[in-house]
Chains A and B, each alone.
Chain A
Amino acid sequence: MPDLLIELFSEEIPARMQAKAAEDLRRLVTDAMVEAGLAYAAAAAFATPRRLTLAVQDFPKATKATKEERKGPRADAPDKALEGFLRSTGLTRDQLEVRADKKGDVLFAVIEKPGREASEVIAEALESAIRNFPWPKSMRWGAGTLRWVRPLHSILCIIHDEAGASVVPLEVEGIRAGDRTQGHRFMAPGAFAVSSFEDYQAKLAAAKVVLDPAERAEKIWHDATQMAFAQGLEVVEDKGLLAEVAGLVEWPVVLMGPIGERFLDLPPEVLQTSMKEHQKFFSVRNPATGRIEKFVTVANRETADDGATILAGNGRVLAARLSDALFFWENDLRKVKAAKEGMGGMEAMAAPLAAVTFHNKLGSQAERIARIARLAREIARDVGADPAQAGQAASVAKADLASEMVYEFPELQGVMGTYYARAAGLPEPVAAACGAHYAPLGPSDAVPTEPVAVAVALADKIDMLTGFWAIDEKPTGSKDPFALRRAALGVIRIVLENGLRLALTRPIAEGAKANHVDAADHAGPMELLVPDLLGFLADRLKVHLRAEGVRHDVIEACFRLGGQDDLVLLVARVRALQAFVDSEDGANLLAGYRRAVNILEAEEKKDGIEYSLDPDPQFAEAEAEKALFAALDAADPAIGKALNAEDFSAAMSALAALRAPIDAFFEDVVVNADNAIIRRNRLCLLNRIRTVMLRVAAFGALEG
């Protein structure tokens, strides 16, 4: 059976797009092959900066012929019916067969599809893949209309087996497929023909191109770590950078060079960020001192001088970059050290933030920082932090936004704050909070755990949320320009992962009040803001817990009880409820609950009254009815006791005891008795079931 080799050769494909593009090519072509009836044994896709390559193994030479028969209208049917049939089959009248049927002559369409050559199917599949390729961003070039990520230069497309290789006939916008490709742009620029995937890979290797990105990454990492190890050093691991660098070269050559002595005292984060962002260098650390002392760069070629010129050039560029960084670092330090009294130094650094707009309706950064500081002091008590320190930390945590270093490297915000706060002589919890208060930045980022940092982190996020709620800039659909969902998730995770017992209504109301005053233009009354924002937090909590397999309706059933602003408590209740509804008792009790509520609501509607009085046991006639009274009398205080103790499992167990009496009640007792008093008493009894159960959760919110 034949194999297929495709290569799309273009100008340099952005590194970040290569992996997905290779996968897309594989998917688009092989899906179309399978769809057409060409099943294959294996397929592999690769990318280099200049090529996307796909190799598919073992598929039939042609698709099978098919024959399909379709019954149409009667031979004497009106033209309308005939036209429709012809349209749907793509045949003409004289191609139809007339066959005798019980009711007369009927038209039949016999559609025969001959088998198609694999090359024809593949040509079609590849052209469609090229024309509809899902690049994140594509472009036109020259005078053409074809879109590709960068100009596409050639298409290699061959089918090959033991007998030899043949080019798949295909032309896209003047680019005719062939069997030729090119080697490394500088080291082996000639074109050559290939006859199979093995031949292609071997010739590419000889022409200084490593086809497989994983192989390039592995070589880079291997050579870099070996080189560092030989000097008693270690390379700082960075998988993202490794993948990116492997996408920038076809023939990786690893070079290691020194960082100038005068830069070695810069914070390691600064060295790492500057080298990574500007130069795509790896950092090389001295494990004994923890200092970053060397860099690793990856060139795309070998040279006669073994990379000496390249390394020297890179070193010069790095020195220029680090000179800038050093200049910023020294200027910033000078500023914060100038006045060491209290927090004068950091305040001096933060001063320009008064002139920086946070949002045109929410005032300046300085105003926002003042709000966060007030809120952090409030929250401090609840999270075990010293209110004065929390307030101080919040006041200086964003000062580094006005530093020269963070202006140059925004990703160092917080990290620099910690360095500068230490240099200004602030207490360690305050300095640490500068760096930690932005966390968590992503779902896998760790949350702050030190009380001062926790207070500032919560205050920061709650101010953000209440501010944008106050001006009605809430996230909608896919639009969340201020990352408010992330802020909400941050609040949730900080509270839950630290087990913080904190009624969120209070800080949210405080934040809302502060923002309402500061907001230049607010949308609605503040009273609605707090419950609305709590609802938003509940929604984010649903998303967060869904990942752990918790049903969203279970969360809703707990949240709907109202006043659920203590997330730790809410989640404990949710987990107990989830376990309960998953149990047999829970499922049955839920059925009983629904039956009770359905009857009750139907009768209340019919009678136009609410049966909300206490039922009286003296009107209980049946044994099952009396037993239900007894069970409710027993369960009610048990539930109350469990809830007071915040023991939701016990509350669920108390509910479980109701299952049998409720089942028996519906088995033996007719609710709508002839006697009006007894009927009313039984409806009130159903209401009592509802009331008792509602103490634990809003069971009505549960689905399924």
Chain B
Amino acid sequence: MSEAPGKPRSFQEIILRLQTYWASRGCAVLQPYDMEVGAGTFHPATTLRSLGARPWAAAYVQPSRRPTDGRYGDNPNRLQHYYQFQVLIKPSPPDLQALYLGSLEAIGIDMSLHDIRFVEDDWESPTLGAWGLGWEVWCDGMEVSQFTYFQQVGGHDCRPVSGELTYGLERLAMYVLGIDHVMDMPFNDPQAPIALKYGDIFRQTEREYSRFNFDVADTGVLLRHFEEAEAECAAILAHPATDPKTGREIVMAHPAYDQCIKASHIFNLLDARGVISPTERQAYIGRVRTLARMCADAFTTTEAAGAEAAPAA
């Protein structure tokens, strides 16, 4: 493997090696989506781009937030803010498993010494109205990635099928670097003049957000924002496809989807605040799913999804 000899020394080196690896395998390396999301799957580069017939290949890091997982920075591997590395290739190539295993070698996992296993794990996202079949990938008994063949997203059958890989970066990096507590993990080169550990960067924010998420976030405001995002999403999509100003066909699937993402994150915050009962929980998930479906419906009518361009007016 020419690109990655030896063991990586830091968290960021693992990220860089993954990016380099997937770039060399033909993926467009994108940047994180600029909104709060619960997982890399929510990035429109995955959710929306897995729909429609157009081929797609993208890889990116996505900061992800799970307010209920906050532990004030004390827990060795639970964080309310963490990173996922996400790869989405449509149609899924026949050698995706081999490509994936190559990425593990690229970050310094020696295949001749480790035990890699594909263990059944079907993926379902009730908020996105999405599901797929695949595995969690184990390295010496530890889950290092999710590997999924998308079957349905936003209520639409995926044709062709996308292959999705999700690496939980902190956990994977801790394993590769041999670190037991996430906060002790070198973020940059440990030999650098200013060596920074994960904790130097995130211990403070974990504390602040844990407090905020659990006890401070204003639930009245959040509830209102949820309703607003929900209403806005529907309102955006209610506009006629033909833009009265330019006369062009412009379906606003992405702006609407931003509101869906927003509603989803606000729901997660409300959940962390403990103000959602189990029965209400289902109802909220159903409301976000409705938005995701509407956005998926809209996206499939666009050129980006491979729909026939409407004849010029």
Contacts and interface: CB of A to CB of B under 8 A. Distances in A.
Contacts of A151: 92, 94, 149
A310 B97 CA distance: 21
Contact of A139 (B91, B114, B133, B141): B133
Interface in B249-289: 277-279
A299 B115 contact: yes
B140 A313 contact: yes
B142 interface: yes
A127 B133 CA distance: 23
Contact of A310 (B77, B94, B113, B278): B113
B174 to A, nearest CB: 9
B156 to A, nearest CB: 13
A16 interface: yes
Nearest to A138: B133
Interface in A108-152: 137-144, 149-151
A321 B77 CA distance: 11
A684 B107 CA distance: 96
Contacts of A249: 117
A317 interface: yes
Contacts of B279: 357, 360
A300 to B, nearest CB: 6
Nearest to A16: B120
Given A139-B151, A153-B94, A248-B117, A12 B77 contact: no
Interface in A417-473: none
A249 B112 CA distance: 16
A586 interface: no
B120 A303 contact: no
Interface centre among B112, B175, B277 (most CB of A within 10 A): B112
Nearest to A187: B112
Contacts of A314: 140-141
Interface string A306-327: 0001101110111010010000
Counting contact residues on chain A (CB < 8 A from B), the size range is 35 or more
A317 B140 contact: yes
Interface residues of B, number: 38
B77 to A, nearest CB: 7
B122 interface: yes
A410 interface: no
Interface in B52-99: 76-77, 91-94, 97
A283 interface: no
Contacts of A279: 141
Interface string A272-316: 000000010100000000000000010111011100011011101
A142 B92 contact: yes
Give chain A's interface secondary structure class.
Answer: loop
Interface string A1-24: 000000000011011100000000
B160 interface: yes
Contacts of B91: 141-143
A244 B119 CA distance: 10
A305 B94 contact: no
A141 B161 contact: yes
Contacts of B161: 139-143
B119 to A, nearest CB: 7
Contacts of A360: 279
A186 interface: yes
Given A297-B141, A318-B141, A356-B278, A304 B151 contact: no
A682 B139 CA distance: 88
Nearest to A355: B277
A249 B141 CA distance: 13
B119 A309 contact: no
A471 to B, nearest CB: 14
A300 B115 contact: yes
Given A151-B149, A357-B279, A301 B115 contact: yes
Contacts of A15: 119-120
A143 B112 contact: no
A313 B120 contact: no
A511 interface: no
A49 interface: yes
B30 interface: no
Interface in A150-170: 150-151, 153
A16 B92 CA distance: 25
Given A279-B141, A309-B140, A313-B175, A142 B114 contact: no
Contacts of A323: 76
A317 B97 CA distance: 24
A310 B133 contact: no
Contacts of A248: 117, 119
Given A141-B161, A314-B141, A150 B114 contact: no
Nearest to A17: B120
Interface in B142-185: 142, 149, 151, 158-161, 163, 175, 180
B42 interface: no
9 tightest Cβ-Cβ pairs between the two chains A and B: A313-B140, A14-B120, A12-B118, A143-B160, A314-B141, A299-B115, A143-B91, A142-B91, A139-B133
Interface of B: 76-77, 91-94, 97, 111-120, 122, 132-135, 139-142, 149, 151, 158-161, 163, 175, 180, 277-279
5 contacts: A11-B118, A16-B120, A137-B122, A141-B163, A142-B160
